[in-house]
Homo-oligomer: A and B are copies of this chain.
Amino acid sequence: MAFDPATLRYDARGLIPAIAQEEETGAVLMLAWMNADAVAETLATGRVTYWSRSRQSFWRKGESSGHVQRLVEMRVDCDRDCLLLIVDQTGPACHTNRHACFYTAIREGAEVEIMSPEE
């Protein structure tokens, strides 16, 4: 069946969470949000575009930093209220210059840094 972004389940703000996973490494890079227009634009362009909750505008990942995400495949979950984006990531995905946003871990009750910023 042809895919229609309107068939996804958005929250009260009209948003759906999207997980970006790197195809090459399997690393979970980040989670951000999309509205229906961002879903459509991402599919149409192959460039991952989120919705910025703070700026209330499209967030074309990497537009200013150059750290773009190329969409390899978009997947939908059983409840249709979450997306998994398989991506090719150029440069670090995180605004802290780390490869991924999940850079601390809880180990033996303490939070420790497990990933350093890239050079």
A residues with a Cβ closer than 8 A to B are 1-3, 17, 19, 21, 26, 28, 30-31, 43, 73-79, 82, 84, 94-96, 98, 101-107, 109-111, 114
Contacts and interface: CB of A to CB of B under 8 A. Distances in A.
A103 B73 CA distance: 12
Number of copies: 2
Given A19-B19, A28-B84, A31-B19, A94 B78 contact: yes
A114 B28 contact: no
Contacts of A103: 75, 77-78
Contact of A77 (B2, B30, B84): B30
Contacts of A19: 19, 28, 31
